[in-house]
Chain A
Amino acid sequence: MVSPILFIVVPLAAAFLTVLVNRNAGARILALLTALTLSALAWFWFRADLSTPVSVVIAGIAPPMGIQLSMDRLSAALALLISVSGLLVILYSQSYLKSEEAQSKHYAVLLLLMAASFGILLTRDLFNLFVFYEILCISSYILVASEETKASFEASLKYLLLGSVGSLFMLVAIGLAYRVSGSLAMSDIARALGKADSSYAMLTAALFVLGMGIEAAIFPVNTWLPDAHSSAPSSISAVLSGFVIELALVVLLRISMTVFSSVNLMLPLRYMALAGILIGELAAFGQTELKRTLAYSSMGQVGLMLFALTLGTEAGRQAGMAHLVMHTGAKSVLFLIAGYFIVRTGKREIKSYSGLGRRMPLTGVLFVIAALSLVGVPPLFGFFTKFKILSAAAASGATGAWLGIAVILLGTVLEASYLFRVARTLYSDPEGENVKAVKGRMEMDVPALVAVFGFTLLVIFGSFLLPLIPSGLAL
């Protein structure tokens, strides 16, 4: 029998083992094999009939005393997204990571990050969620700091401070929830909070949303993101922007809509989303470094997804989920390519990349495709998802929907202008010192190219996957 628990146990075991592996090649292969196994597992669950979710209890003790995990269609789809993204990023790291580094620890932490991601996705126990959330946060801090530059330490410290405060908020929320329900199972807490005093439920929900929202990079608590996502190694930026914030967002939404269903969180979240779009895109517009631009753009994109998911209609949730999948593909491509721009030129500013598109023709084309999809140009995946969000908003009649449409369109204009600015620089005439920049092979190494190509396929042909993307946010 294939148990959903394998999603957590396999990467954990691999991470424990990886630390022992002294040779970089060994660690790389072990990580790659683990990611392959996880992808196969995820594929099995994605294909399985999950019309009724498959639940497993730990240690044979059913909730409310024990811990229960549950695999539903949404979890299976996200697990597939996480494991395939992880696989491609590990493939990319084969050539991207510098060979003299001690890579075994890097891969071990990356595998732990994946284990924790599956954990928060599958668990139906609020405290168990907190434990996996801690693992997710701590491994993110470590990965952000792993370039060991001053900027990355600063970014990691900022992230750590905010993340620790967020964990505390979450812990207090869990304590408050336990006080009224006497149980840590999400379904019990949902029932108990429904009967509790409404201000009590509101306090619990607000603390939880603010705590979890830090990892999901929701508007007022997303200040760590630009530093962390831009100072991390590019493979890690792709992971953090590609699926970690999205995953946290989905889990946050699922808990808001089930456990805290008695509290009306959707309206405030919707306005927070709009503020996030506006601020993220405006800040991205003003950046001069490519990775910082992309990081701020992630801030805006999270807002876009959150807006769609909080519209409160089925169409809105579908559109939000589809956009999430698209963003994973497009942002991963952009970050992974940005990593090679930095490796090849040694510079982070956009203006140093002039003429780079001609010297790295294949890479340049892939970059432009992903950028176009992020903006929402037909016939790429991004067009369909953005269009779906806009039409869902127009049809929903929710408060703030039309304001949202205006903000999204404004954000799109900003996004188009800064991404086209990058594309224009890539294909402009090289100027000054860039002319005699690095000689020899410029194109990405083969493993990296294959990985980026994989993500690009998702960006181009993703629209065919639309009917397969589930949207049910039930427990």
Chain B
Amino acid sequence: MRKLIGILLIGGFAFYLVTVGMGLFSAESRSELDSVGSEILATSPDLSGAANTVTAVVVQYRGFDTLGEVTVLFVSALGVGMLAMAIKDGLLKNLFDDNGGFVLQAGSLALLPFIVLVGLYITLHGHLSPGGGFPGGVIIATAVFVVILTSKTLSIPRGLINVMETLAGLGFLAIGFVGLYSPAQSFLANILPKGEFGSLLSAGFIPVIYAIVAIKVASELINIISKLTAADSDSKEAAE
């Protein structure tokens, strides 16, 4: 078996060298369609009102993909949740059995609001500077994770988090519907006023969507963390 893997690896590398050396599989000339990138750069400020073009592409031009990615995260979280429940003892429970001690616990609690603040800042400035809902949501979830790392005493309001997760998901779809039934007649069309270019309240629905994404990402990650670290009794509770 190991020989076979070795042969496969060497064969693959040899194939790579041969193709690169002979210039096979290369595309020298680009076609006339190369203009999409520059077209987006040219139209983005007017069309989306976002100073950050990457965000404009993620939320506006390809907002449907972002909805899909949010769903990928959602379904993965569901899967991890089901698995965590199947493994009775709380997968990572032993890792966090140690009491972190008073200093670490108090320190992590003191850090919590600041980490959340950074997460909120990154989320809400997604249309102006690098960042947005995905990293923002992860940072907010990290705040909770840091506390869990030091102690087990944090009681997470799972019910509330579930409700927030659902509302965020439905909110994303609702924004899409507003576009569909607005004069633009297109799912996820940006119909909110664009505001002043480069200011916090600009870019129409982009900050709104990023806020929703942040809520969804944060609540899903917190849910996963709490399920993975929960003791047996807690995971049964979650099943009900």
Contact = CB atoms under 8 A, between A and B. Distances in A.
B72 A131 contact: yes
Interface residues of B, number: 57
Given A61-B60, A65-B61, A131-B72, A109 B78 contact: yes
Contacts of A77: none
Nearest to A180: B27
A404 B169 CA distance: 49
B187 A13 contact: no
B136 to A, nearest CB: 20
Given A12-B71, A199-B24, A61 B65 contact: no
Majority SS of interface residues in chain A?
helix
A161 interface: no
Contact of A61 (B61, B67, B72, B86): B61
A28 interface: no
A64 B79 CA distance: 34
Contact of B180 (A3, A105, A179): A3
A182 B33 contact: yes
A59 B190 contact: yes
A199 B85 CA distance: 49
Interface string A70-95: 00000000000000000000000000
Given A60-B189, A192-B33, A199-B24, A109 B64 contact: no
B156 interface: no
Interface in A110-166: 112, 115, 119, 127-128, 131-132, 134-135, 138-139, 141-142, 145-146, 148
Contacts of B82: 105, 142, 145-146, 148
A61 B47 contact: yes
B61 A182 contact: no
Given A19-B166, A61-B47, A181-B31, A105 B81 contact: yes
A469 to B, nearest CB: 29
A433 interface: no
Given A58-B188, A141-B79, A182-B35, A9 B176 contact: yes
Contacts of A141: 79
Contacts of A192: 31, 33
Interface string B152-193: 000000000011011001100100110110001111111000
B237 to A, nearest CB: 11
B65 A197 contact: no
B102 interface: no
A66 B81 CA distance: 34
A192 B76 CA distance: 35
A365 interface: no
Interface range, A side: 35 or more
B69 interface: yes
Contacts of A119: 68
Nearest to A66: B61
Contacts of A199: 24-25
A181 B180 CA distance: 30
B225 interface: no
Contact of B162 (A19, A59, A179): A19
A197 B31 CA distance: 12
B238 to A, nearest CB: 9
Interface in A156-205: 176, 179-183, 188, 191-192, 195-197, 199-200, 203
B37 interface: yes
B162 A20 contact: yes
A279 interface: no
B174 to A, nearest CB: 9
Contacts, number: 157
Given A3-B187, A12-B71, A142-B78, A67 B65 contact: yes
A148 B82 CA distance: 9
A239 B115 CA distance: 44
Interface string B18-47: 000000111110110111110110010001
A56 interface: yes
A138 B190 CA distance: 30
B75 interface: yes
Interface string A1-15: 101010001001101
A135 B75 CA distance: 7
Q: Which of B85, B86, B190 has the most CB of A within 10 A?
A: B86
Given A9-B176, A200-B25, A16 B190 contact: no
Given A5-B180, A19-B162, A56 B33 contact: no
A59 B68 contact: no
B27 A197 contact: yes
A182 B180 CA distance: 28
Nearest to A131: B68
Contacts of A181: 31, 33
A283 B150 CA distance: 54
Contact of B36 (A67, A108, A183, A196): A183
Given A59-B190, A60-B189, A145-B82, A109 B75 contact: yes
A133 to B, nearest CB: 10
A139 B75 contact: yes
Contacts of B170: 13, 16-17
B230 to A, nearest CB: 15
B74 interface: yes
Q: Which of B33, B43, B173 has the most CB of A within 10 A?
A: B33
Contacts of B27: 176, 179-180, 196-197, 200
B7 interface: no
B26 A200 contact: yes
B65 A128 contact: yes
A139 B64 CA distance: 19
B157 to A, nearest CB: 14
Nearest to A195: B31
Given A61-B61, A200-B27, 16 more contacts: A9-B173, A57-B186, A58-B188, A59-B188, A59-B190, A60-B179, A105-B82, A131-B68, A131-B69, A132-B68, A135-B71, A142-B75, A142-B78, A182-B33, A188-B33, A199-B24
22 contacts: A12-B169, A16-B74, A16-B170, A58-B64, A58-B188, A59-B187, A60-B179, A60-B189, A65-B39, A105-B82, A138-B76, A176-B27, A179-B27, A180-B27, A182-B31, A182-B35, A182-B37, A183-B33, A191-B33, A197-B28, A199-B25, A203-B25
Report the 4 A-B pairs with minimum CB-CB distance, sorted nearest first. Answer: A131-B68, A16-B169, A60-B186, A142-B79
